[in-house]
Each structure stands twice: as structure tokens, then as C-alpha cells.
Structure 1
Amino acid sequence: MYGSGLRVMEVCRLRVMDIDFENNYIIVRTSKGNKWRKCLLPNNLIEDIKQRIINTQKRHEQDLEEGYGTAYLPSALSKKSPNASKEFKWQYLFPSRKQSANRITGEIQRFHMHERKLQRAVSQAIANNHIHKKANCHTFRHSFATRLLENGTDIRNIHAYRT
């Protein structure tokens, strides 16, 4: 969140295919107002994200072996490409620990981690590091914008990250 200016739900909803290591950016597909945008992929996170993808792939393969392994697909894509939901690229980068039933189809799927879990983890990290300032997930987004401004980024480009 700090290195890319992502919102909590944008982090939770990231899919494997949203990470572009070659061009060092993250595609945010489910942004506020259903807009898409590209965000920076910080170099210092690349190895951690690659490891996250490996772990996610192991979990996905296990789900497939157990007869599950589908991911929720946006809009009419599931009808247009019925097998796409089992493709690894559609899996959430931060999957939920548990599988659950899709409220619409009833199909057992693994959704993304709940935003509250991420918020709790950030709050715990702030407390563990003895940071006594008011801070939360959204603070990282503001800090990202502040650092861009301090480093000479044009305010109009920073504004582009807002949407």
C-alpha cells in the first residue's frame, strides 16, 4: 500500500495476472468507480511478491486436486470463458484461508482475503513497532502521495493515482 498507493480493497482484490514484473507495475482492475489504472511495483517487493505467487500456486494446485480451484470472475466472463475460472492467473494474490460458497452460483470457491484481516495486520504491525502516531492502511496511501511530491513528481501525475 505504501509503495504503490493502493487502497485496502485494491490490495485484497489483486489477482496473479495483475502483477507485471517485466514493466514494474501493478494493474488495479477493481478500483473506485470501476476504473482501471496502473500503479508502481516497488523493486524491494518483487521477491516477496514472487514468493507470494509461488505459495498461491501451491494452494491453487491443492484446491484443484480436491475438486475445487475456481475463482470468482467479473461480469459475464464466466459465461464467455467457462474454464477461465480454474486458470491460475485469475487466482487472488492474497487468497482467503477458507473456501466458501459463491452466493450467486453456490459453487465452492476461494475468494480474496477479507479487508478486515489486512487492516488488523497493519494495526498490529504499527503497535509492534511502537509507532505512537495515528496510522492505518489509508495513511500509507497518503504517505505514498507525499513521497512522490517530495521527490518532485508533478501534482497532476500524483492526482492520476487517486482515481
Structure 2
Amino acid sequence: MTNNKTLDKQLVINIAEQTLTMYQQQTEVARYVVSTAKNGIGSQQDSGCTPLGRHIIEQKIGGSEPMNAVFVGRVPTGEIYDTNLGELHPKRDWILSRILWLSGLEEGLNKGSNSQGGCDTYERYIYIHGTPDTEPMSIPLSHGCIRMRNTDIVELFEQVEEGMPVMIIVD
């Protein structure tokens, strides 16, 4: 589902800087602070790590949902996140506002499997998504996904397309 607009745009997620940068024709057009995995980098199933390498946005989810909409299994629950809901469910890994579901392009690194088992970004449900605004950014705290401020993910969501390249790098 790529078109000419997406071919000259790409996202680069920098683990060391904890940033997501959008480039258009190799010029930086937007930069956001993010939070990647608390467990560091890696691509194995159940590792809780953020995978490196070349990816695409496989699926955009939640475009018609309100800000702070809560998703479970990529489906909106009808709840809107607020502090009270957060206190009621302190252990939940909140996925809010929008989801950009990533798919790896490199066999054995972030697609399919390797000698250690499954390493498929898409099958691991690795997303770029919103998180409660009380969660710190610029600090690796996620379970593998790339977390963003809700206003940032909503803004980014409107500027990207399915099929758009996403590169996740160490630094």
C-alpha cells in the first residue's frame, strides 16, 4: 500500500538517544522523544527487548479513536485512560491513542526465526504506540514496543502510511 509520498519518507528510532525522527527526502522534518525496551535491544520472542534493523509500518490502528483511547489486543476497549483508571489497573501495559504495528524485513534478525527461536517483530506485536503522559520519556521502560506521548503519536499517525520504512538503530 505504498505510494510515492511514502517512498521519500522514513522513520528512524535511535535507541541511544531515545528518539524517533521522521525524514522526508533525507531531511529531518520531525523528532519525538520515545521510550524503548527496559530489557534493551534484541529480537527474540518473549525477550521484552526492542528489535533492531529494517522494518515497515505494517498496520495503522485507531485512527478514528479519541486521544487516550485504551487498546487491548489492538482493539479499543471503549475506555479513555485517566489517572483513576491507571490506579485501578496498576500492572497494565497501557497501549493508548494509536498503534503503528511494525513488521521486520530481515530474515533471522527481525523476521521469521533463527537458531534461538522466533524473532519476528510482527508476531511479537511490536508497536509504536501512545502511553500514559505520567510515564517518563527518554528512559527505556517499555516491554519491547516504542512508547510515545499521546499528542505525539496522534500527530505522527497522520503523517505516516502503511508500508513506510522504519529503521531501528543502536545510535
Aligning the two structures, in what range does the TM-score lie when normalised by the shorter sequence? Answer: under 0.3
Q: Choose between structure 1 and 2: higher helix proportion.
A: 1
Q: Choose between structure 1 and 2: higher strand proportion.
A: 2
TM-score by length of 1: 0.28
